[in-house]
Amino acid sequence: MISVFRCTIIWAFALMIVISPHSEATPIAFDVTGAYHSISARAAALWQARHRMTSSAFQDTFGKLVRDKYRLTYVSGYTIDDDPRFAAIWDQNVSSDWAARHGMTSEEYQGQFDALVGNGFRLRLVNGYTVAGDARYAAIWDKSTGAAWVARHGLTSSEYQSAFDTFFARGYRLKHVSGYSQGNQASYAALWEKSTTNSTWVAHHGMTSSDYQGLFDKYVGQGFRLLHVNGYVVNNVDYYAAIWDKSPSSPWVARHRMSSTDYQNEFDKWVGEGYRLTLICMLLFGSKSSEALVSFEVLKAQCWLQRGELEAYMVR
């Protein structure tokens, strides 16, 4: 479950990006397939973040923000008493046509994947979560250009490790991974892209919270920065999958395993200091009997990056 190697990087993306100056937003429209299209280019991005949204609240917020010229850049699904909830981030950096879906079964996701890829879209994010024991998926595609890529979902831990090894041997680099529970076992959905320039990187999955903290401290001490982290729960134990690399970056901050209250406090603190949230992962374990307990049991992992170059996860 641990791989460390030297490989190449396609573009210096981050899970943490900067606050950028105000500018005119890009008008967007959508067609009958539900794909959103950019009409004109723009230089900077405003952003919005929400968490603990029900499925209907997420859809309503999605529609409102799209009308306000925002693009979905990150989404994390989870459940409270088998009721789907969502955390998401939007910004106004709409540089290519795009599409997003949530609440998909494995078959529905594969169908949307095939249809959109057949129309020239590429996968940018896939997030797996569990509702009443069944896997559900949220995903984002766009029509930006880039290197060759491959994606897999519904993988067991051993299948994921095998795919990881296979694609690494073929010159691919892990860009995104999402863990989720299926039948009291971990499953994974992941995205790889063909490497084009050298950058040392490392990826781990199946880490406990203490494992993750130990490796985080180790790699940051060696000059790595966190690119991606995903939390998931199997048999009431929280696990983490993460990617680090040594590409240049502006200052950044990362936190994990916070209560909802702690998360809000951290959010307010770092946004007030000029940082911007670009990843949020929510998970729930322990008692699910009341909303009062949930506020202490919904855990999150997220990262911020301070002022510097505009680098957005899942956005060119």
- Is residue 67 domain-resident? yes
Q: How far apart are CA 77 and CA 127, in angstroms?
A: 7
pLDDT in the model for residue 31 = 34
> Minimal CA–CA distance to 36: which of 86, 84, 80, 94?
94
CA-based nearest residue to 9, from 246, 226, 203: 246
| 4-41 pLDDT tens trace | 332 222 222 222 222 222 222 222 333 333 333 332 23
Give the pLDDT score at 199.
82
- pTM, to two decimals: 0.79
CA distance 250 to 227: 12
Strands 2-8 and 198-208 come out as antiparallel
pLDDT value at 170 more than 80: yes
Q: Read out DSSP for 132-175?
A: TTEEEEEEEEE----S-EEEEEEEEHHHHHHHHHHHHHTTEEEE
Residue 122 lies in a domain: yes
Confidence of residue 299 (pLDDT cuts 50, 70, 90): low
Is residue 109 in some structural domain?
yes
Answer whether residue 69 is part of any domain: yes
Name the domain count of the chain: 1
Compute the CA torsion angle 251, 220, 174, 98 (nearest 10 deg). Answer: -20
Predicted pLDDT of residue 187: 98
Rounded to an integer, the average pLDDT of 158-169 is: 97
pLDDT of res. 37: 31
Instruction: Indicate whether 103 belongs to any domain.
Output: yes
Residues 6+ apart with CB under 8 A from 269: none
Its domain, for residue 114, covers 2-32+45-305
CA–CA distance, 140 with 138 (Å, rounded to integer): 7
In-domain check, residue 40: no
Once rounded to an integer, what is the mean pLDDT over residues 54-81?
94
Residue 159 is assigned to a structural domain of this protein: yes
Q: Name the average pLDDT for the chain.
A: 79
* For range 131-160, the mean pLDDT: 96
**pLDDT value of residue 18:** 25
Residue at 202 is within a domain: yes
pLDDT reading at 198 higher than 90: no
- Side-chain half-sphere CA neighbours of 280 within 13 A: 30
pLDDT, position 309:
28
Instruction: Give 16 or 300, the one with higher predicted confidence.
Output: 300
